Structure 1
């Protein structure tokens, strides 16, 4: 009798032990996934002098599920795109202003590929450095025929901080080719040259969302036949080709 009672008690204890171990296993029967943590943020918390074009990177303790990261990384007051590569998520802002403190946050709910979750929000802040003004480059002067299609070229314009640019070409001389607007817009606006000989002058300025460049000028000379034109200038040379770059001194 004592033997049967002891055997029954041992069976109950074994059943309880098996039941307890199954409750702590992971989805596949193994241990539960480790919680996800934030290992590093760039710019670091409290960083100053950060370039306004710098991306914001978050490194996690292991590779993350990209679907859970979208919308989970934010910089207050800024829009941007998020990309994921392994354990690193990168927020690339459309534009950040200079001399500005930004609050960044990764919200809880980001998960690793193994299923471990970030348990709580991770917040930090950084301050950008002084915004540097962009530089406008209006491109080379042009000689075109009457009625020809003309395209301006501001592709050489740059922003030292890497921000996107807005382009404004203000026409300051010549018959209007802006349909009364007074300016053309975009990095390479196009128009039709007047039907008569004329000189068109444009001043290009570019903006980076915070400051504006100094103007840069380009001149479009409208000629009946540019290929047959001869150019004369003080200091020219009568043995030169007579082009704009190599003008003559006199005309015979």
Structure 2
């Protein structure tokens, strides 16, 4: 009998496994430290999924739940298409936001599909769990409206401001992240510039001083006209405000003061978003779908999170289920502008309503019956329905009797 030699096959398999392990599945020789429990997500987009009337000159943005590896946010991982045809453009990345800038203005009244692929990875090599896809439709006119600063923290003229707080400015619309920098968002005291870093997410910019501010000191913050929206429109004028620090740092934990739906609510519409309002301004970079989540029976609900003012919004990716109890959670990962986290997770529950009735009612019985003869002249008429009816809709406009013309009067 002839013996079969396995050694060459064994060596081949060993070589294949060695190459696989060496490459780390990264395709570039780098080892990917994939953590399946902490994969990055897209927390918000501009335009939003399903948005209509989008200005044709706007850029498209995607905000992530954490800092991403910039070299993975490119025109090969951030795509825009119309009718299956790729749209040419350039991709930039800043902070936690990727921006797709079409080479030419988009067409009017046209639907586009944007995609962030799983080629997008965070700083430790973790990819998105799945491609993030959304669509929007352009309008008939370009965006020529200048953005504005709608609120700031501290507010203009504020006093007793904690020395460890960051500053925040909220805009009237999504801005081009690359224009929100220490050059366009500045802080000074007595003409002396304060060193710091600037981040941007959603519609909010944050100035983080390099060191704590001085006690009992007046500071002036400025957002210059170098800040531009996604259509390239600058602020009409510099936005300037001042505030004065207090004598002690902020060590008070923020709280959730209001939720929609409220805890224990029933009959909640399945298409509603959730919102949580805080006791003070929060760091928007800490409000993502990692710190604001929704689940039913232990199963997470996919959705996006946005933040503006003092309110965070959770927008489920699809309508919720009927007659189902959901639990929402804001974790201690949510922090205020001084870096203070919630003292405890804030958890609340609510139950959606029943499925809507879309079945048309019918008339199941009439007295007299159709075609009856010899009916007594003093009798009333009746109609029985297949289900309970709205009595306000049953009037002599909807229930009438006639013999020739005109109709007979009755109640």
TM-score class, shorter-chain normalisation, is 0.3 to 0.5
TM-score, structure 1 normalization? 0.39
Greater percentage in strand:
2
The structure, 1 or 2, with the larger RCO (C-alpha pairs under 8 Å, 6+ apart) is: 1
Structure with larger Rg? 1
TM-score, length of structure 2 as denominator length: 0.25
